[in-house]
Amino acid sequence: MNRGWTTTALAAVLAVFIMASCKPSEAKKDAADDAAGGAAPVKVYKASRQRIAEKAAATGTIEAWRKITITPDIGGKIAAIYVEEGQAVRKGQVLAELDTLAARLQLQQAEAGHLVAEAALKDALKNKERLERLRTDKAVSDQQVEQVQLAAEAAAAQYAQAQAALNLARHALDVSIMKAPFDGVIASRNAEVGDVINPLMGGFSAAGSAGGVLTLVDFSRVKIDVEFSQDEVMRLSRGQRALVRVPTFPGRDFPAAVSVVNLAARPMTKKFGVEVVAENPDRSLRPGTFGEVVFEIATREQALVIPQNAVLDNAHVFIVREGKAVKTAVTLGLQNRIWVEVVRGVNEGDLIVVEGNYSLEDGMSLEIMGEVTL
């Protein structure tokens, strides 16, 4: 009797020991199974209605609205340059001048010739008037009258010639002094004092400069030339609004408008040139730098939109329904860098997976980690 009880007790102890030794491995297996079948962490966005604009963008070089090379109309030696590169100037301000000694002497000569011609004309007119009175009294012959009339006409022609010579001398002196034709900034100084410049040879100077004396630019307005494809340019028109963005001022948009839309494609790129003009009163946009031009080519109010990163490559999204991922095909409409319009496949208020969606499969359990707001 005691031996049987002892055998039974020993068997029970062994069973308890075996069960205890098996629990850790079984617990690990259960934990692994739970991890393998756990919910995928995701973030979602609630589909909503708002305005969406489809945009087209291109990059071009910013250029000054007006640019001119300051070159005198006549040749000569540069006597003085009064401005430096980067200096702001006003319309009419004297920028540089040639050696004007010869021009001033020619002006004095022309003024003297003009006075002589003026005196001769006055004398001829008086003689003509006097002879006309004598002719009335028949005190002179017709031949004498004719001679006086011809003399008066010759004096008038000589006076006109002297007036033209005077105007030419004044012009030569005037264009020897180079003035700013508009408000702007000196972009470059292309010659030095003492250089001899000849506008008839393209502005070449003795120092080898072919760029005139100075270059003046006005970039209170700027223009940017960009290129677009045929599909895009068909939706652009003159006067259409645009925005200019530059890396120097991130987050700042400069209002602009289309000034030119080319109707012929460029031979090299097969794209169409579009020029936009932007106001630049504080001169933040600098000529010679790059700027991005952005157009709104289509808009829709109260469109059902979701973030771009919610849409997978095959035009599918994952919608959260009863805690699971439901893979849904969608039809898309207008798009931009942030938003995409959903025409079919999503309802307003649906929770769309926007983070963690690339590793999902249809029917997987989801753990929502948060709702994204843009």
Is 304 domain-assigned? Answer: yes
**How do strand 366-371 and strand 40-46 relate by DSSP bridges?**
parallel
| The pLDDT of residue 31 is above 50 | no
**C-beta separation of 63 from 187 below 8 A:** no
Instruction: Identify the CATH number of the domain in which residue 158 sits.
Output: 1.10.287.470
Instruction: Indicate if 115 and 141 belong to the same structural domain.
Output: yes
- pLDDT category, 301, cuts 50, 70, 90? very high
Arithmetic mean of pLDDT, 316-332: 96
Domain identity same for 118 and 199: yes
Q: Are 62 and 292 in contact (CB under 8 A)?
A: no
85-133 per-position pLDDT tens digit: 999 999 999 999 999 888 888 889 999 999 999 998 888 888 877 777 7
Residue 209 has a pLDDT of 47
Domain end call among 179, 212, 245:
212
Q: Sorting pLDDT into bands at 50, 70 and 90, what band is 206?
A: very low
Q: Is residue 157 included in any domain, yes or no?
A: yes
Any domain includes 26: no
Neighbours of 21 (CB within 10 A): 9
Q: Note whether 169 and 289 are same-domain residues.
A: no
Decide which of 166, 189, 212 is a domain's last residue. 212
> Of the ranges 52-56, 259-263, 266-270, 273-277, which one carries the lowest mean pLDDT score?
52-56
Per residue in 222-239, is it b (16+ CB within 10 Å) or e — as a string? bbbbbbbeeebbeebeee
Whether residues 251 and 267 share a domain: the answer is: yes
- 3 falls within a domain: no
Which of 197, 212, 227 terminates a domain? The answer is 212
Query: Please, which pLDDT band fits residue 56 given cuts at 50, 70 and 90?
Result: confident
Mean per-residue pLDDT over the chain, rounded:
85
The Cα diameter of the chain in Å comes to 189
231 and 356 assigned to the same domain: no
The model carries a pTM of 0.61
Confidence of residue 137 (pLDDT cuts 50, 70, 90): low
Average pLDDT over residues 326-353: 94
Domain that holds residue 226: 57-64+219-299
Mean pLDDT, range 134-153, rounded to an integer: 75
**Has residue 5 been placed in a domain?**
no
**Helix (H) / strand (E) containing 332:** strand 331-335
Q: Are 200 and 102 in contact (CB under 8 A)?
A: no
What confidence category does residue 12 fall into, taking pLDDT thresholds of 50, 70 and 90?
very low
Residue 3 has pLDDT above 50, yes or no: no
Statement to judge: residues 135 and 242 lie in one domain? no
Q: Domain total for the chain?
A: 3
Q: Which amino acid is at 364?
A: M
Predicted confidence (pLDDT) at residue 235 exceeds the cutoff of 90: no
| CB-based contact 354:368 (threshold 8 Å) | no
* Mean pLDDT, range 205-216, rounded to an integer: 68
More confident residue, 174 or 12: 174
Q: How far is CA 309 from CA 40, 48, 173, 363, in A?
A: 18, 15, 70, 20
**Does some domain include residue 8?**
no
pLDDT value, residue 131: 76
Q: Identify the pLDDT of residue 14.
A: 41
pLDDT score recorded for residue 136: 67
Tell me the pLDDT band of 203, cut-offs 50, 70 and 90: low
318 and 294 in a common domain: no
Yes or no: say if 203 and 57 are a contact pair by the CB < 8 Å rule: no
pLDDT of residue 4 exceeding 70: no
Phi, psi dihedral angles at 136 (to 5 degrees): -60, -35
Average pLDDT over residues 346-365: 94
Q: Is 198 exposed, middle or buried (0-12, 13-18, 19+ CB in 10 A)?
A: middle
288: domain CATH number? Answer: 2.40.30.170
257 and 190 inside one domain:
no
Asked if residues 241 and 53 have their Cβ atoms less than 8 Å apart, the reply is: no
> Which stretch of 17-26, 103-112, 137-146 has the lowest confidence by average pLDDT?
17-26
Half-sphere exposure of 174 (CA within 13 A, CB side): 7
Q: What pLDDT shows up at residue 9?
A: 42
Same domain, 350 and 323: yes
305 in a structural domain: yes
pLDDT at 318 over 90: yes
- C-beta of residue 83 within 8 angstroms of C-beta of residue 95: yes
